[in-house]
Amino acid sequence: MKIKAYAKVNLSLNVLDRRSDGYHHIETIMQSINLYDVVQLEKSSNGIQLTCEGIKLPCDSRNIAYKAAELMIKRFRLQGGIKIHIQKHIPVAAGLAGGSTDAAAVIKGINKLYGLNLNDKDLSNIGLEIGADVPFCIKGGTGLAMGIGEEIVPLPTPKLDIVLIKPGASASTKVIYQLYDELKEHVHPDVRGQAEAIIKGDLKKVCKLAANGLEAVTMKICPEVVQAKKALIDSGCEVALMSGSGTAVYGIYRDKFAAQEAYRLLKRNYLTFLVKTIDEESANG
């Protein structure tokens, strides 16, 4: 079985209070894009065998996809194991849910291979035990995510042409949130307002309200993010924004031709991807 595991970007991100378990309550618009890993799964007699290609990653319990398989096997006392092979295309430590989406694919794949017949809510609850972004990755499309990311309100998918840059630097999500907590003043984007703009199909307002409360923190310790965002702005995008805790930055363009031209120029100096938004059906196709 082969599953396409799609990346996401945050069209806006508002960080709220810190919980006692270290997580933060958030409001964010998560959006699937057509950049994906390919996760291949096959039943085996026992154990978990994980291999990866494309990007060097640990292939043991340090890998979130391995953890997902481990949880599924133990939780449902499966009489057998699983072979997993991941073709990595999504950059890691980028704020694109590259690990979470692989874990989501493993959870969904094992559900089908072993005939567990779990519904989306069941799968999302399992995913939440692995990581805060996994529930969205199980669903895909466009959603207003709240709580720590597990409370998802589906939204219509805006058709956006995007150029995505992954700078050479990476950032630890944990460190970024710790630095955020140390700030005296915080930026609080109008995520709900952007959700309303998406529902109304007002793409101009969607771009106007695109903002990320973590961006200034990551930029402070990763100047490459500042440079990448400036490059996107200089290339003529409507808005440029960091995704998640970074370090990936993306620009939204007025049409696919403007995006294609920007991609042609930016790929000379950056690891660059020309992508577009996809809806829930496409993310699960």
The pLDDT score that the predictor gives to residue 69 is 98
Reported pTM: 0.96
Two structure tokens written together for 223: 């100047």
Helix (H) or strand (E) holding 69: helix 64-75
Whether the CB-CB separation of 71 and 122 falls below 8 Å is answered with no
Give tens-digit pLDDT for 92-143: 999 999 999 999 999 999 999 999 999 999 999 999 999 999 999 999 999 9
Catalytic residue flag (residue 112): no
Whether the CB-CB separation of 82 and 117 falls below 8 Å is answered with no
In angstroms, the CA 251 to CA 38 distance is 25
Annotated catalytic residue: which of 4, 8, 88, 229?
8
The pLDDT score that the predictor gives to residue 23 is 86
Rg (CA), the chain: 18
Annotated catalytic residue: which of 37, 102, 133, 279?
133
The pLDDT score that the predictor gives to residue 24 is 92
Give tens-digit pLDDT for 234-264: 999 999 999 999 999 999 999 999 999 999 9
Residues making up the binding site for ATP: 91-101
Catalytic residue flag (residue 120): no
The pLDDT score that the predictor gives to residue 227 is 98
- Give the sign of the dihedral formed by CA 105, CA 275, CA 11, CA 231: positive
What domains are there in the chain, each with its CATH number?
2-154 (3.30.230.10), 161-283 (3.30.70.890)
Residue 223, helix vs strand vs coil: helix
